[in-house]
Structure 1
Amino acid sequence: MLPIPFLLLLLSSSILSPSSAADFCVADLSLPTTPAGFSCKKESTVTISDFVFSGLGATGNTDNIIKAAVTPAFSSQFPGLNGLGISTIRLDIEIDGVVPLHTHPAASEVLLVTQGAILAGFISSSNSVYYKTLYEGDLMVFPQGLLHFQVQCGSSPAVAFATFNSPDPGLQITSLSLFGSSLPSQLVEKVTFLDDAQVKKLKKVLGGTG
């Protein structure tokens, strides 16, 4: 137990020297982002609306090549998250839908399935593979920066919510980076060991050039 004089010193220090840290840093979306995130709004302009986001209740548009939709609640959609190191998304996957191999360079992810079934997995840096079919109420974690995926399985569309330990986790989809970009086909063939016909077919499907 600390001596009483020392306890009194700590108490008096806390009274005389309050923390200078702000309670929050609501994003000012009218200003450009910085490496540290958005600049803070003036506290006098902050309202309750900055701390509430109502965009995850509706199904996302899955009318696309992967039959999946991500509805984000990052700091650019949800200003109150700025600086807090957290964010979330809604994931909708139609029957036969897939979220291809991708990474989040700036965050780890926890996925919660709320409807249907999703086969999800990731590949470690030592090329070990971890995957499992998740059902309603199941959680899975994807460590930061590792390649991972989600595939709808079962007889109905799937819904899940993911949280990240960053207000802007970043995203890079491997197939789009390779075949939806302007990286020359010869280079893609060299780094993927695919032949010319396969590369050009995938570039045509995903909108790549070169």
Structure 2
Amino acid sequence: MFSKIEILLLIFCLHSYLGALASDPDAIQDFCILNAEVDSHSHTKEACKPSTQITPDDFVFSGVKAPGNFSDDGLSAILVTPNSFPGLNTLGMSFVRFDYQAGGINPPHYHSRATEIAFVVKGKVYAGLVDSNNRVYAKVIEEGEVMVFPKGLVHFQMNVGKSPATIYASFNSQNPGVQRIPSTIFGSGINDELLEKAFGISIKQIGKMRRKFFP
């Protein structure tokens, strides 16, 4: 049998261990500029550029000056991770530039490995999140306002203004991961009969949804 002190120590150690798993590992050096030839998931010493080869340009990224290509949803997203910006490597963060055409949306989705904080650069965006009790927290946020989306919770955005909108968002992981609910449900190959029973829609309607993601 464990004593009370041993049980408390066990709980403390378990809590500390789970806390360590909840975020990216702490860096053990000032920075590790990723070698262009090495994947960002590599943890070998060779993943880092030699200090003699590092320049100020390694800490600067210019790829978010303008919107990227727009999807059918009216959304342009430029995700910046260590693979595109090597200076982020081991810093436990990444970011994204979102641009929305009038009426454009970022469909319901979630990030399994990161909390997101979003800053509205211009425009009016209806944004919100859904908690584990299925309660929605949503409102229109405008230029200069910030909204946070906790890790693992479904969230969404929609441009409700008459002109384009722009958001810059940051994640507390260099590899936040993203699963978009519509494409995850209808574009991943889940059995049609299961979807029919789960959503109360016909096989024909399911086929129509699938064609949206795999034309």
Work out whether the TM-score is over 0.5: yes
Identical amino acids, percent of aligned pairs: 37
Per the alignment, in what secondary structure is the counterpart of residue 80 of structure 1?
A: helix
Partners of 1:44 and 1:193 in 2: CA distance: 62
Conserved? CA contact 1:116–1:136, under 8 Å: yes
User: 122, 129, 137: which one pairs with 1:122?
Assistant: 129
Per the alignment, in what secondary structure is the counterpart of residue 189 of structure 1?
A: helix
Structure 1 stretches of 4+ with a deviation exceeding 4 A read 35-38
- Mapping of 1:35-54 within 5 angstroms? 39-54=47-62
User: 191, 195, 198: which one pairs with 1:184?
Assistant: 191
Amino acid at match of 1:45: Q
* 1:177, distance to aligned residue in structure 2 (A): 1.0
Counterpart position of 2:17: none
* 1:36, distance to aligned residue in structure 2 (A): 5.8
Unmatched 5+ residue regions in structure 2? 1-26
Distance 1:129 1:46, change over 3 A: same
Per the alignment, in what secondary structure is the counterpart of residue 195 of structure 2?
A: helix
* 1:191, distance to aligned residue in structure 2 (A): 3.5
Partners of 1:171 and 1:36 in 2: CA distance: 23
User: Could you say what the CA RMSD is over the residues aligned between the two structures, in angstroms?
Assistant: 2.1
1:205 pairs with 2:212: yes
User: 170, 185, 196: which one pairs with 1:163?
Assistant: 170
1:83 pairs with 2:52: no
1:195 pairs with 2:206: no
- Mapping of 1:54-133 within 5 angstroms? 54-62=62-70, 64-133=71-140
Counterpart position of 1:145: 152
Partners of 1:30 and 1:101 in 2: CA distance: 34
Distance 1:55 1:133, change over 3 A: same
* Aligned residue pairs, count: 188
Partners of 2:187 and 2:167 in 1: CA distance: 26
* 1:181, distance to aligned residue in structure 2 (A): 2.3
* 1:86, distance to aligned residue in structure 2 (A): 1.5
TM-score (norm 1): 0.83
Unmatched 5+ residue regions in structure 1? 1-19
Partners of 2:178 and 2:42 in 1: CA distance: 16
Q: Which has the larger radius of gyration?
A: 1
